Amino acid sequence: MGYENILVETNGRVGVITLHRPKALNALNSALIAELNRALDGFETDAGISTVILTGSERAFAAGADIKEMQGLGFPGTYSDDFITSWERLSRFRKPAIAAVAGYALGGGCELAMMCDILLAADNARFGQPEIQLGIIPGAGGSQRLTRAVGKAKAMEMCLTGRTLTASEADMYGLVSRVVPLADLPAEAMKVAETIANLSLPSVMMAKESVNRAFETTLSEGIRFERRLFQALFATLDQKEGMGAFAEKRSPNFNNR
């Protein structure tokens, strides 16, 4: 459907978006971000899709925002055009998003990966916020999400020096959920996506909303929020199906209602 910088496919109830600017290590230019947002809009409203995988190539998830495109920008323009705000679309995606990261995830690439809900890394993945080496700082949430993920000590060193993390460091520090061999990354990501896609979509979406609320509110308000969603799920047919299936010792057949 007219995409030039990404590939968009579906596999059953799973949508797959592959960043695809191979000559530029998937550097994220405004055309790519607009296409990504369009693909996310489509998957979000498609009742046939439950979850999305965002991935790149074996060499690069994305080596950051397109430096050549940014090079000539000035302050009044970035301000009046609200430069970078359009990148936040992924963080507002309501269905689960799985980042399958191989190779470089730098700058805006690391930021996009951190906007996803589950981050799977290949053993060759490298994560970093090297913007400081260009005379700027992270602009799509890197200093905030990285700090929440790995803590101040690691985030400061990465943001102040541009040091990159290996996949095993990222695993040890809690930035990724798991590291898998490079060759296994697509299949592992699909396995996770299919596991989620076979569950009840309302419960999956509410679980995502509830975990994300932990970053935005106090413990008591977060627990209250969780409780209301928990109670609301007893209004779904899928709660009856899930518990009924358990009692009858069979697999559930969820209908997302």
Q: How far is the CB of 186 from ligand HXC (least distance, A)?
A: 21
CB 50 within 8 A of CB 13: yes
Nearer to ligand HXC, 50 or 129 (CB): 129
In DSSP terms, 9 is beta-bridged to: 16
| All residues at 6 or more sequence positions from 143 whose CB lies less than 8 Å from its CB, including other chains | 129, 137, 155, 159
Question: Half-sphere exposure (CA, 13 Å, Cβ side) for 187?
Answer: 5
84 lies in the binding site for ligand HXC (CB under 6 A): yes
Instruction: Establish if 67 lies at the interface with ligand HXC (CB under 6 A).
Output: yes
Binding of residue 139 to ligand HXC (CB under 6 A) = yes
The answer to whether 251 touches 198, Cβ cutoff 8 Å, is no
- By CB under 6 A, residue 68 contacts ligand HXC: yes
In the bound state, the residue with its beta carbon closest to ligand HXC is: 107
Would you mind telling me the total number of residues written for the chain in this entry?
257
C-alpha span between 186 and 194 (Å, rounded):
12
Binding-site size for ligand HXC (CB under 6 A) equals 22
The smaller minimum CB distance to ligand HXC, of residues 31 and 134, is found at: 134
β strands within 27-160, DSSP E: 51-55, 60-62, 97-101, 104-106, 118-122, 126-128
Phi, psi of 148 (to 5 degrees): -65, -35
- Residue 65 is a catalytic residue: yes
Q: Which span (8-16, 49-57, 126-134, 186-194) binds ligand HXC, by CB under 6 A?
A: 126-134
Q: Taking CB under 6 A as the criterion, which residues in 14-33 touch ligand HXC?
A: 24-25, 27
* Nearer residue to ligand HXC within complex by CB, 134 or 233: 134
State yes or no: residue 56 binds ligand HXC (CB under 6 A). no
CA-CA distance, 217 to 201, in Å (whole number)? 24
Q: Footprint of ligand HXC on this chain (CB under 6 A)?
A: 24-25, 27, 63-68, 84, 87, 104, 106-108, 111, 130-131, 134, 138-140
Active site residues: 65, 108, 111, 131
